[in-house]
Structure 1
Amino acid sequence: MNDQLSRHLRNNARRKPHVVVLLILIICDATSATLDEDPARLVVRPDSSTVIEESKISFFCRADGNPLPNVVWRINGKPISDPSRISIKSLSTGLSTLRFDRVTREDNATVISCSADNGVANPVVAEAVLTVLSKDNVPVGFPRIDLHPALKSVEQGKTAYVSCRVKGEPRAKVLWLRDLIPLDVRADGRYSVSTIGNPGALMIQHAKEEDQGKYECIARNSHGVAHSKSANLYVKGQFPARNGPTRPDSSFAFV
């Protein structure tokens, strides 16, 4: 509180005590609001990725802060200009996915950036580089999908199996997407990913309405990234009306 305001409060304390109280409350409320603000930060940053031409690739970014930051994607520093080939899906949790549906050789060395801004401080930015290999220049051990997800239906409460078999050397880690959003299989005990037999396959126990959607698996190792084809999982049953949309977990990891 500056000296001028202090003198003003003292001079008016006897004549207008209610004004003093009001001013103090206003100052306290403003200070409290400022303390509650949290600058934007990126808790998930896009990873530089190597893919084979004509394949898919996804980049992930998650922002946090108070208020929740706005996430903006850019390609080589420019706004997205080709929505027919590049799509974005964002959640209210601050998680956002950018998807190239079909990369070309011209996409090699493309810089993908994710920025988060909530007006509290300067925006924060993270960048990743997309490397595209020709089909005749794929290194030994590059991850591949030998078995893709297939259309499935499951009764509510039963166990669903979504196929995916990945190979790669070193061993490829797997991430599952539902409707372009990553699943954190560690956060929900109903989910598990096979590491033997059909490495990469997803098992969902006690299927719920929220499990319904379009699934795909991603395999990643030190050589690069491979995406599977996508397939729908339908959950059959009688579901109670919901008050609002479910919000998937916004944390995840390759397993």
Structure 2
Amino acid sequence: MKRRKTGPILKEWTLLLNPTKSFCSNFIFLLSFFAFVSSAYDDSAKLIIRPDSSTVAEDTRVSFFCRADGNPLPTVVWKKNGQSISDLRYSTKTLSNGLSTLRIEPVRLIDANSTISCTADNGIGNPVIADAILTVLRSGDLPDGFPIIEAHPVLKSVEQGRTAHVSCRVRGDPRPKILWLRDLMPVDIRSNTRYSVSTLGNPGFREKAIGKI
């Protein structure tokens, strides 16, 4: 045993190995076992996108997103206040890449202060859970600058191969962030060059966003 000049006492240990055939077999087995455990841990369910808490006005809509990863790909389950969701106003969708969404439309005051949870589980390790809080405000009690959609997007019919323009107009202070969705899912303009987004207006107060398909 050696004592450091400062800090805790350190112990020195010496391990003597007798390299017999039986020992080598057991040692290799242990290494394989630990490698299996490490691999299983790496394959366990993970949430690489977690749902964000949201504050919305009543009679509007709100979407929560989470993305799971693991091998095999985890199953994603959404719950409200720890309970399974059966309300027809709630709809869910999960893509093959693990991205999942929960959509509430319309939002009611009874949804206020709800805990929305996303659970990912693939049978390896423990399920992973992420929570978000939904806050609902009365339409007449919105604070100054609260983000509002003044003009909603309108569906259009265009000839195949032509360009379609879809626009919306929002108001808010500070400047609202705009997220475009298609079939409940975010539009990824980085990986799909068919989509582009441009923004017009006075930053921080009123903004018009134009999406091109």
Q: Same fold (TM over 0.5)?
A: yes
Give 2:162's aligned amino acid.
Answer: K
Aligned partner of 1:199 among 180, 204, 208: 208
TM-superposition CA deviations, 1:136-195 (whole Å, max 9, x none): 110111111122111212233322101211121111111111111111223323322221
CA contact (8 A) 1:193 1:199 kept: no
Identify the residue that residue 68 of structure 2 maps to in structure 1: 63
Within 5 Å, give how 1:85-164 maps onto structure 2: 85-164=89-168
Seq. identity, %: 57
1:22-61 alpha-carbon deviations (Å, 9 max, x no partner): xx9xx97xx6797375121111111100011111111111
Match of 1:73 among 78, 103, 106: 78
Q: How does 1:1-255 map to 2 (within 5 A)?
A: 7=22, 35=39, 38-82=43-87, 84-197=88-201, 199-204=208-213
Q: Which amino acid aligns with 1:183?
A: V
The CA distance in 1 between the partners of 2:48 and 2:209, in whole Å, is 26
Q: Secondary structure at the match of 1:136?
A: helix
Q: Is the 1:38–1:66 contact (alpha carbons within 8 Å) kept by the matching residues of 2?
A: yes
Runs (5+) with no aligned partner, structure 2: 1-20, 202-206
Q: The residue matched to 1:120 in structure 2 has which SS?
A: coil
Query: How many corresponding residue pairs?
Result: 184
Q: Is the CA contact 2:167–2:208 (under 8 Å) kept in the aligned structure 1?
A: no
Are the equivalent residues in 2 in contact too, given 1:76–1:112 (CA < 8 A)? yes
Counterparts of 2:86 and 2:163, CA distance in 1: 42
Instruction: Provide the TM-score with structure 1 as the length reference.
Output: 0.65
Matched residue type, 2:22: R
| Structure showing greater Rg | 2
Instruction: Give the direction of change, closer, same or farther, for the CA distance of 1:33–1:152 in structure 2 (3 Å limit).
Output: farther
Higher alpha-carbon deviation: 93-102 or 36-45: 36-45
After superposing on structure 2, the runs of 4+ consecutive aligned residues of structure 1 that deviate more than 3 Å are: 6-10, 31-34
The verdict on how the C-alpha distance between 1:56 and 1:201 changes in structure 2, with shifts beyond 3 A counting, is same
2:39 alignment partner, SS class: helix
1:92-130 Cα distance to aligned partner (Å, 9 max, x none): 111111111122212111000001111221111110000
DSSP 3-state at the match of 2:133: strand
Tell me, yes or no, if the aligned pair for 2:47 and 2:128 is still in contact at 8 Å. Answer: yes
The answer on whether the counterparts of 1:55 and 1:101 sit within 8 Å (CA) in structure 2 is yes
Where does residue 239 of structure 1 map in the other structure? none
Q: Distance in 2 between matches of 1:99 and 1:88?
A: 6
Gaps of 5+ in 1: 1-5, 11-23, 205-255
